[in-house]
Amino acid sequence: MPIRPRVKNLSTPGVSLFQNRSIQIGCLLALLFFAAGCSSTGQNTVRQPFQTKLSRFNSAYVEVKSTVANPPERFGEFLVQLESRIIADLRAQNTFKKIYSHAADPDNTAEVGILVIVSGVRNVDNFDRIMWGAMAGQAKTKALVEVRDRKTNELLGSAEIEGASSGGSVVAGTTGQAVDRVADEVVKIVVQNW
């Protein structure tokens, strides 16, 4: 008769492996992380604090520029998306009475200029996400936002912003989501200094 090696039972005696509560929870957490990944985020670092409340101004314009040396494909679309998203969100927050798009109306009469200068992009497009899934990582967009009094050209305040898409899963976000997080941070800065 052959001798069988004894396998040590790691679970509680008399209980199957998946009936052990801690193993169930561990498997569930691993599955959730794989399916959900990490969420999209945005953060800002104030470079020059605001000394003046923006609520004293009635109108503003939003202008988005780029200093990215080798922009990814469709980058122009992302800049348009960023500008229109900032304008829409500022209107939804009932901040300025009138908000202009500098691209659509460069000769506007706004009192405050909100200039967003995109300085870096880590592009993850739909093709990358489908081909590489979680291995494609997070899309990221970096920008500098400056708010200026248009009459005096005085810098009222500025901040560095970074937006990142969700990552770590097959269904994570792309560069468009990172751009949306930058827009959220720009609006957050304006609202905090309202």
Helix (H, G, I), strand (E, B) or coil at 74: coil
Tell me what pLDDT residue 164 has: 76
Tell me what pLDDT residue 5 has: 63
Tell me what pLDDT residue 99 has: 96
Candidate CATH numbers 1.10.287, 1.10.490, 1.10.8, 3.40.50; the one for domain 38-192: 3.40.50
d(CA 131, CA 126): 8
pLDDT along the chain (194 residues), means of 10: 62 55 66 55 86 94 92 84 94 94 89 94 64 64 94 95 69 69 93 93
* DSSP symbol at 82: H
Q: How far is CA 2 from CA 8, 9, 119, in A?
A: 19, 21, 70
The answer to whether 122 and 157 have CB atoms below 8 angstroms apart is no
Please state the pTM of the whole predicted model.
0.72
The answer to whether 183 and 50 have CB atoms below 8 angstroms apart is no
